[in-house]
């Protein structure tokens, strides 16, 4: 049986739908119309059934097949990013309450305290901590750098993949400079390849009200305020 849920925020609905096979999401002017559509009525007939008492709020219907896997949100934060004295942290938030003991709020290791390093470290931490490696894993991130920098594991085929070109160019950018975070990118790539089921990186818009992203963001900001680790 299809699962039906309703959201007031389009971005939140889209984030939840991505990764589900044969999923559908659609916007409606009022709540009753969304309910009627999800129960099999056409958009046109659903409009005729709406009463004067219908709630005049934007709602979204989601009709999807169950996702037999794990969902995690990751985020990085750097206070003073790119400047001397910056301090970075990262957060990992598991969607299923059963795995909340795996949630992470940590200060970033090392001298380079950048947001990009924090984002990549958060994703790597999630992959390595996945409690059921045999299940599909969806990793929601708001980092375009992470999505572009990793090899092929995204839900959006149009996203440019930088890593294959970096490999061809001996890990140099198009301007001839050395690629930053090479070791971390390679570690993340190896972690993805080591899993029996490849993880999927999914982009979620930052600060758009998506609960998992907001929780990961809070954990990352908290981590950035923790004391420096050894070597910093």
Q: What is the pLDDT of residues 45-77, one digit of tens each?
A: 444 333 333 433 333 333 344 667 999 999 999
Q: What is the pLDDT of residues 107-123, one digit of tens each?
A: 999 999 999 999 999 99
Is residue 92 left, alpha or beta, with left meaning phi > 0 and alpha meaning psi from -120 to 50?
beta
**Hey, is 80 helix, strand or coil?**
coil
Q: What is the pLDDT of residues 183-230, one digit of tens each?
A: 998 888 888 888 888 888 888 889 999 999 999 999 999 999 999 876
Find the domain containing 93 and state its range: 68-225
Closest CA to 225 of 89, 113, 115: 89
Q: Is the pLDDT of residue 86 over 80?
A: yes
Specify the pTM: 0.69
In a domain, 45, yes or no: no
Q: What is the pLDDT of residues 196-208, one digit of tens each?
A: 888 888 888 899 9
In a domain, 136, yes or no: yes
Q: How many domains in the chain?
A: 1
Q: At what angle do helices 115-129 and 211-224 cross, to 10 degrees?
A: 110
In a domain, 153, yes or no: yes
In a domain, 198, yes or no: yes
Q: Is the pLDDT of residue 42 over 50?
A: no
CATH number for 177: 3.30.420.10
Number of CB atoms found within 10 A of residue 33's CB: 23
- What are 192's two structure tokens? 């993805």
More confident position, 79 or 9: 79
What ranges make up the beta strands (E) of the chain? Answer: 3-7, 24-28, 59-64, 70-79, 87-94, 104-107, 137-141, 200-203
Q: Is the pLDDT of residue 38 over 90?
A: no
Q: What is the pLDDT of residues 136-164, one digit of tens each?
A: 999 999 998 888 766 544 443 323 467 77
In a domain, 159, yes or no: yes
**d(C-alpha 38, C-alpha 36), whole Å:** 6
Looking only at Cα atoms, what is the longest distance across the chain?
Answer: 67
- What are 108's two structure tokens? 């970033």
In a domain, 17, yes or no: no
In a domain, 192, yes or no: yes
What pLDDT is attached to residue 166? 81
In 133-181, alpha helices (H): 144-149, 163-168
What pLDDT is attached to residue 48? 39
In a domain, 132, yes or no: yes
Average pLDDT, the chain: 77
């Amino acid at each position: 049986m299809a699962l039906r849920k309703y959201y007031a925020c389009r971005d939140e609905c889209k984030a939840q739908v991505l990764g589900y096979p044969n999923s559908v999401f659609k916007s409606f002017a009022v709540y009753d119309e969304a309910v009627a559509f999800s129960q099999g009525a056409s958009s046109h007939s659903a409009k005729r059934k709406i009463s004067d008492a219908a709630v005049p709020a934007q709602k979204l219907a989601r009709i999807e097949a169950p996702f037999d896997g794990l969902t995690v949100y990751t985020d990085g934060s750097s206070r003073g990013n790119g400047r001397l004295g910056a301090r970075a942290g990262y957060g990992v938030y598991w969607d299923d309450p059963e795995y909340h003991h795996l949630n992470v709020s940590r200060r970033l290791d090392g001298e380079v305290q950048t947001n990009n390093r924090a984002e990549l470290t958060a994703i790597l931490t999630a992959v390595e901590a996945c409690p059921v490696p045999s299940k599909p894993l969806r990793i929601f991130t708001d980092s375009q750098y992470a999505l572009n920098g990793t090899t092929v594991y995204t839900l959006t085929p149009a996203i440019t993949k930088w890593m294959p070109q970096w490999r061809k160019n001996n890990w140099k950018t198009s301007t001839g400079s050395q690629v930053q975070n090479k070791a971390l990118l390679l570690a993340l790539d190896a972690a993805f390849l080591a899993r029996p089921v490849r993880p999927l990186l999914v982009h979620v818009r930052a600060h758009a009200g998506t609960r998992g992203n907001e929780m990961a963001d809070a954990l990352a900001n908290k981590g950035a305020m923790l004391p420096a680790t050894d070597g910093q």
